[in-house]
Structure 1
Amino acid sequence: MTPAAAAPKSVLARLLLVGAVCLLSACAGSAPPRSVSAAVPGDADSGAAGAKAAAATAAYCLGAGDQLRVIVFGEEDLSGEFEVDDTGAVSLPLIGQVVAKDLTLRSFEAAVQERLQEGYLKDPRVSVQVLSYRPFYIIGEVDEPGEYPFVSGMNVLNAVALSGGFTPRANTSKVLITRGGHESAYPVTHQTHLEPGDMIRIPERFF
């Protein structure tokens, strides 16, 4: 059972706090633009953050554990909530398994539409949204290593806080993140953002 599933109240409280912080950050970046006459300092930064978030969503590649909402317009029986399984595929009504791993949302939509056109629907229209992302993992010098739910906008400091904080032996200036099969070193700052499925390793410091 994962830490999030059977977490003590302290861990759940940290998860709620991290989620609130990330949500506030996302809201700041997704607010509708004001008119030029009503512009205030900081609007440009918020707009840039919103554009960056939208670009990140468009570029996001699906993977095992992602929870999706698939809508086939006008076809309620073919719509619903589905999970990308361990093989990287989604099992959909009528058409069966459709590969999702490493596809963007738009590419997966196109793949579903193509399958539906193969003798099932004449002109299908499909929309796909991510309901929840696959978890991230943190190991090494933190108090509560393990698997945790990913929240959009998370950074490495959020992950450390969620896992109970650094141990006394932790290297608090460097973190190692495995992403796409490659491990790289990053600074421990708010600017080191996470992606779903990341494996975070907090190394031990050398005295």
Structure 2
Amino acid sequence: MSRRQFLVLLGAAALAGCAPQAAPPAGFAEGLDAPYTLASGDRLRIIVFGQDNLSNSYAVDGSGRVSLPLIGPVQAGGLTTPQLERAIEAKLRNGFLREPRVSVEVEQYRPFFILGEVTTAGQYPFVNAMTVQTAVAIAGGFSPRALRTQADITRQIGGRLVTGTVPVTFPVRPGDTIMVRERWF
């Protein structure tokens, strides 16, 4: 290889490192401001005021439902906590309680997943205000070959999975799958 070809190749590699990072898909930024919707893996604290035997901690099952005493399964997947409160109140009002008052709060969010060039890939509990960089730290840090400036996030938006390349400062949501890619050099 001639010296001139080597310098051209070296210059191209240097410019590739300076290229602007890809912006996340439009739905990613919009989804950050949207109210949190429940899904399988969330753990909820449901309080029925004046009914201690109905108040407890419940998990959203694989089909997106929570099962309560007396009323049975209630669809929770895709709903916000206020929407689930109203759904439970409606079922309780249907022959069980005269004027039920229900409070629902998320006790534990569904986990996130991290793959690729991290020390320990896997499933981890979600932490509020988490970024990709925080998720990498929870997974033991970057591997020596990791691309440390960006990652791919796969998230469910509008009922379908969307993958986008984001900077490491981008917020993570419960249920996201993060893929840390290998750097080229």
Give the TM interval when normalised to the shorter protein.
Answer: 0.7 to 0.9
User: Within 2, Cα distance between the matches of 1:102 and 1:195?
Assistant: 15
Counterpart of 1:77 in structure 2: which amino acid?
N
Deviation, 1:81, is 0.6
Contact 2:45 2:57 in 1 (8 A): yes
Give the structure-2-normalised TM-score: 0.78
Q: Find the counterpart in structure 1 of residue 176 from structure 2.
A: 198
Counterpart of 2:41 in structure 1: which amino acid?
G
User: Within 2, Cα distance between the matches of 1:196 and 1:95?
Assistant: 28
5 Å-filtered alignment, 1:1-207, equals 59-180=35-156, 181-189=161-169, 192-207=170-185
Deviation, 1:206, is 1.9
Deviation, 1:59, is 0.7
Bigger helix share: 1
Deviation, 1:86, is 0.8
TM-superposition CA deviations, 1:140-174 (whole Å, max 9, x none): 11010000011111111111011111112211111
Deviation, 1:121, is 1.1
Q: Secondary structure at the match of 1:78?
A: coil
Counterpart of 1:116 in structure 2: which amino acid?
L
Q: Find the counterpart in structure 1 of residue 12 from structure 2.
A: none
Counterpart of 2:167 in structure 1: which amino acid?
P
Give the structure-1-normalised TM-score: 0.70
Runs of 5+ unmatched residues, structure 2: 1-31
Deviation, 1:73, is 0.6
Q: Secondary structure at the match of 1:97?
A: strand
Structure 1 segments of 4+ aligned residues over 4 angstroms from their partners: none
User: Within 1, Cα distance between the matches of 2:53 and 2:117?
Assistant: 48
Deviation, 1:66, is 0.8
* RMSD over aligned Cα atoms: 1.4
Could you say which structure has the larger radius of gyration?
2
User: Within 2, Cα distance between the matches of 1:176 and 1:155?
Assistant: 12
Counterpart of 1:124 in structure 2: which amino acid?
P
Deviation, 1:205, is 1.6
Equivalenced residue count is 150
User: Within 1, Cα distance between the matches of 2:125 and 2:111?
Assistant: 5
Counterpart of 1:199 in structure 2: which amino acid?
T
Counterpart of 2:173 in structure 1: which amino acid?
E
In percent, how many aligned pairs have the same letter?
50
Q: Secondary structure at the match of 1:107?
A: helix
Runs of 5+ unmatched residues, structure 1: 1-54
Counterpart of 2:66 in structure 1: which amino acid?
V
Q: Secondary structure at the match of 2:98?
A: coil
